[in-house]
Structure 1
Amino acid sequence: MQSRGSSHRVSSMGNNRSRIPALLISMFAAFASIYVAGRLWLDAENRVYLIKELDRITGQGQSAISVDDTLKIIACREQHKKLDALETELAGARQEGFVSNPLIETNGTYSTRRPLVVIGILTKFGRQKNRDAIRKAWMGSGASLKKIEEGKGIIVRFVIGRSENRGDSQDKDIDHENRLTNDFLILDNHVETNDAFPKKVKLFFAHAADKWDAEFYAKVNDDVYVNIDALGATLATHLDKPRVYMGCMKSGEVFSELNHKWYEPEWWKFGDKKSYFRHASGEMYVISRALAKFISINRSDTLLAAPVLLVAIYASISNLLT
């Protein structure tokens, strides 16, 4: 039998032993809580930092977006910046006026005025009679052509490529005619063939946009007679529209049958593959500066040989962004 004192000592020792593990557990739990809280705080700070970086990069006020959405936002905002820059330049040009002038020196500084329109008359070898008729009818030549450029801000040039046999009599005839009239835009890297006509149109817009910073660019065939004053007045009413595609608009069936008279080899590129998207008739149409720049940027895309395709694609992008 144990005495009451010994019993009390045993009980006290047992209680002490039970308190020590409890204290250790409490201390461990406290340290663990502090550690976890610290990690959570650090993770929270990291998340806040990443969220702010994402918002800074995308410029968006919301952060719960996917990587794909982020890339789309960045691409769209870059397109917006380009379009805004073009529209700002257009607004500045409107304040300066729309008369074509070379560099004019004023008190030691130089300024330019943007031409209203560059007209490219697409012509071919052996059609000098057509060109002479146009010069006499509405285009002018020499001093009269220069007067149209400086007085009305309208630049007119015949557009032609080179012969398949480079340097032959056809090339020499064009070079000789150009020395006399100085009214050609010669596409040295383009070979004149009927099959390459759409490419020629695209190259004209691209080269014209590079050479002249105009408000509009017009494609005309060499059997079309233009009323310069009426054209200028019409275009002046559209100066506040940065993306313009004007002409005799039409549509029609796309023929994909190989033996059809109007078989379209690239029928799958057009509209819904059954009918063409609405587009301007090829005799003459006008596009604005932004569209011409878009064609110039995409000139090397061989899958988009026809300018109307490029214009349609740009219009689709513009509709998404505006």
Structure 2
Amino acid sequence: MRSRGSSNRLSNPGGGSAFRSRISALVFAMFATMATVYVAGRMWQEAESRVYLIKELDRRTGQGHSSVSVSETLKIVACKEQLKKLSAIEKDLAAAKQQGFVSKEHSGNDATPSKKRLLAVVGIITTFGRKKNRDAIRKAWMQSGAALKKLEEEKGIVVRFVIGKSSNRGDRFDREIRDENSQTNDFIILDDVEAPEERSKKIKSFFARAVESWDAQFYVKVNDDVYVNIDALGAKLSAHLDKPRVYMGCMKSGEVFSEPNHKWYEPDWWKFGDAKSYFRHASGEIYAISRALAQFISINKPILQVYAHDDVSAGSWFIGLDVTHLNEAKFCCNSWSTGSVCAAV
């Protein structure tokens, strides 16, 4: 015979399972609550950290966005780098304008702000074996020594002989020029080969060297068989300081000769059209160009076309540019009159 207690336990077999289920649910609820509190705390901390980081990034970058991704941050940095580069380019452009590509007076931004800009640099084109010509020029109009320096200081005109180097570098011809220059100090010695067929390249190199070496309003090319009236030259140049791009000389044109045996043969005759006539250009005895044009030659020297004759070559460099061609009768050296700039000798 079983007792009542035993009978009750046997008669309600699911009671213990329900009790255990209630215990498990309570424990699970406790753990869930704790997990929820933990996760909420972590999320709150992360949210606070994110807000702090965003505010800090906004403060450092100056951007007011509510959120800034890594890619956006990189874009901001790249943009700032581009702005720096753009600023540098704008400075270079301003410097180029200051150097004469636009009409602008000499200002304190130049490398030598306290030094007055010269009026002209005159290059006398000479060659080997013509020392007598050079000595005659020194005595007649160029001056030498202290007088040459005085010409530069008082009238703002620099005068130099221009010559290249022998194809056999360092030979007797180069040594003679080097010795002569050591006594007179009045040469521009170019790296170009000194040869008749290289004359046009030599003129191009002279303008490039001169504009890089001296800050002047004008650059003048003269042959070494020409007498120059320095005062008249200075007066003519000074009358055109208001023009930014000037090509001044005894302007001419003429026939292009295609016969190889002709004295003035032009190998590129076919480039001048069926009429075979040269464009307007200054006679080669003497002509002047303004600073902006000399700079144009210096910058574009490698790609400027040269022809058989240096005066034609120089004229071709300014075709297509906004240049004032000044036909000045006083630059025509075949006749001498009062106020003439030059005379052929």
Cα distance in 1, alignment partners of residues 192 and 100 from structure 2: 32
- Ranges of 4+ aligned residues in structure 1 off by more than 6 Å: 80-83
Question: Root-mean-square deviation (CA), in Å?
Answer: 2.7
Structure 1 residues 74-125: Cα deviation after superposition (integer angstroms, max 9, x where no partner): xxxxxx98986555875423x89xxxxx96xxxxxx6111110000000011
What one-letter code is carried by the residue in structure 2 that aligns with 1:166?
R
Task: Normalising by structure 1, report the TM-score.
Answer: 0.64
- Superposed, 1:210-289 pairs within 5 Å as 210-270=212-272, 274-289=276-291
Cα distance in 2, alignment partners of residues 273 and 86 from structure 1: 39
Q: Gapped runs of 5+ residues in structure 1?
A: 1-79, 97-101, 104-109
Match in the other structure for 1:294? 296
What one-letter code is carried by the residue in structure 2 that aligns with 1:114?
R
Cα distance in 2, alignment partners of residues 144 and 184 from structure 1: 16
What one-letter code is carried by the residue in structure 1 that aligns with 2:125?
L
**Aligned with 1:219: secondary structure?**
strand
Cα distance in 2, alignment partners of residues 311 and 279 from structure 1: 5
Distance 1:113 1:254, change over 3 A: same
| Partner of residue 123 from structure 2, selected from 117, 120, 124 | 120
Q: How far is the alpha carbon of 1:268 from its aligned partner? A: 3.2
Structure 1 residues 222-262: Cα deviation after superposition (integer angstroms, max 9, x where no partner): 11111111100110000001111111111100012334443
**Aligned with 2:303: secondary structure?**
coil
Cα distance in 2, alignment partners of residues 236 and 178 from structure 1: 30
| Partner of residue 314 from structure 1, selected from 307, 314, 318 | 318
Cα distance in 2, alignment partners of residues 138 and 280 from structure 1: 22
Match in the other structure for 2:29? none
Aligned length: 227
What one-letter code is carried by the residue in structure 1 that aligns with 2:114?
S
Q: Percent identity?
A: 61
Match in the other structure for 1:29? none
Larger Cα-atom Rg? 2
Contact 2:281 2:315 in 1 (8 A): no
| Partner of residue 161 from structure 2, selected from 153, 158, 161 | 158
Distance 1:240 1:254, change over 3 A: same
Match in the other structure for 1:143? 146
Cα distance in 2, alignment partners of residues 131 and 116 from structure 1: 23
Q: Which moved more, 1:296-305 or 1:169-178?
A: 296-305
Match in the other structure for 2:105? 92
Distance 1:88 1:126, change over 3 A: closer
Contact 1:202 1:307 in 2 (8 A): no
Q: Gapped runs of 5+ residues in structure 2?
A: 1-92, 324-345
Q: How far is the alpha carbon of 1:308 from its aligned partner? A: 4.5
Distance 1:263 1:158, change over 3 A: same
What one-letter code is carried by the residue in structure 2 that aligns with 1:194?
P
Cα distance in 2, alignment partners of residues 259 and 140 from structure 1: 40
Cα distance in 1, alignment partners of residues 221 and 178 from structure 2: 22
Match in the other structure for 1:134? 137
Match in the other structure for 2:178? 175
Cα distance in 1, alignment partners of residues 259 and 298 from structure 2: 33
Contact 2:280 2:315 in 1 (8 A): no
Cα distance in 2, alignment partners of residues 272 and 318 from structure 1: 26
What one-letter code is carried by the residue in structure 2 that aligns with 1:235?
L
Task: Normalising by structure 2, report the TM-score.
Answer: 0.60
